[in-house]
Amino acid sequence: MMEKIAFLTMVALSLVVLLNCGAGGERNPKDHYKKANMSLENLTIIIIYDNNPYDSSLRTAWGFSCLIRFGGKNILFDTGGDSPTLLYNMEQLKIKPKEIDAVVLSHIHGDHVGGLSGFLKRNSGVTVYLPKSFPLSFKDEVRSFGAKVEEVHKSGELFDNVYSTGELGVWIKEQSLILKTPKGPVIITGCAHPGVVKIVNKSKRLVGGNPVLVMGGFHLGGTSEGEIRRIIADFKKLGVLQAGPSHCSGDRARQLFREAYRENFLELGVGRTITIGE
Ligand SMILES: [Zn+2]
Ligand SMILES: [Zn+2]
C-alpha cells in the first residue's frame, strides 16, 4: 500500500510539475461581492481550491476544485494541485471527505488531479468519473485505493440531472459538468482547454436551455483582448445569464467579463459558495 501511495504521489507531483494549465499568479484582493443567497437551496457549489482568493481563512494555490451539492449527492469536481491544501480547505469549510459520494475529474493536469490520492486515503468509497483517455496506470492506482473508476468518453447523464460533456478537445481531452436546474443548466469547467464556447455549445445540444451560469477555469490567460471579446459576445448570443471565470481564466479575461456581465459577473475564489434556488 505504501508503495502505491508513494507511486501515486510521485505521479501526481510529476504531473503538477510537467502538466499544468499554465501557471500565473492571479490575485484579486477586492472582495465586495455578497455571499450567495442561501434560501431556496437547490444547487450549491462551494469552491474548495482555487488560485483566486475569496475567504481569507483558506489557502490559495494554483488549481481548481469545487464541491457540488445537488439532487442529494455530494460531488467533488477536480481535486486541486495538492492534497494538503485541498484537505485543509475542506476542514475549514466543514466538508468531511466521507460525505463525498463521487469524484469527477475534468482532465489529467496536475492542478486538477494532484489532490486525489490524499483524498482517497480519507475516503476510498467513491466512484471516480474520469476521461477514458487517462493512462491505464492512473486508473489502476485509483482502484488500488479501493475506489471505483468510471471511464467517460461520450456525453451523457452521470447522475440524475448531472451530465458530462464527454471528452472534448484534441490534445488535452477534458470533460465538463452540466447541472440541469429548474432555472437552466449550470456549466462547470476545469480548465476549458477544448474552448469554453465549444463547451457551452455542447451543453446547448445536450440539455438545451440558456445556461444560468458558466463557471470555472476558462483558460484565457494568453488570449488576445479581441478574442476574449468575441468569446463574451458568443456567451451573450448563447444566452449565458451569469459568468464566473476563475482559476486559469486570466486577469484580463476576468476584467472584461466583469465589465460585460456587471451584476451577473460572479467574483469567484476559494471559499465562495454559489446557490441556485428553485
Ligand atoms: Zn489544464
Ligand atoms: Zn488548471
Q: Tell me, what amino acid is at 2? A: M
Work out the average pLDDT over 257-275: 98
449550470: which residue's cell?
186
**Which range of residues forms the domain containing residue 235?**
2-276
Work out the average pLDDT over 39-61: 90
Number of domains composing the chain: 1
Ligand closest to CA 248: 2
When the pLDDT of each residue in the chain is averaged and rounded to a whole number, the result is 90
| % residues pLDDT > 70 (the chain) | 86
User: Which CATH number do you get for residue 71?
Assistant: 3.60.15.10
Query: How far is C-alpha 248 from the geometric centre of its chain's CA atoms?
Result: 11
Check: pTM over 0.85? Answer yes or no: yes
In three-state secondary structure terms, 254 is helix
Cα 247 to averaged position of ligand 1 atoms, centre (Å): 10
| % residues pLDDT > 90 (the chain) | 84
Cα 64 to averaged position of ligand 1 atoms, centre (Å): 10
Strand partners, 66: 47, 77
Q: What count of Cα atoms within 13 Å lies in the side-chain half-sphere of residue 60?
A: 20
**What cell does 118 get?**
490524499
**What cell does 97 get?**
471527505
| pLDDT, tens digit, 9 for 90 and up, residues 166-199 | 999 999 999 999 999 999 999 999 999 999 999 9
| pLDDT, tens digit, 9 for 90 and up, residues 218-240 | 999 999 999 999 999 999 999 99
| pLDDT, tens digit, 9 for 90 and up, residues 119-169 | 999 999 999 999 999 999 999 999 999 999 999 999 999 999 999 999 999
**Residue 113: closest CA among 91, 146, 137:** 137
Cα 21 to averaged position of ligand 1 atoms, centre (Å): 4
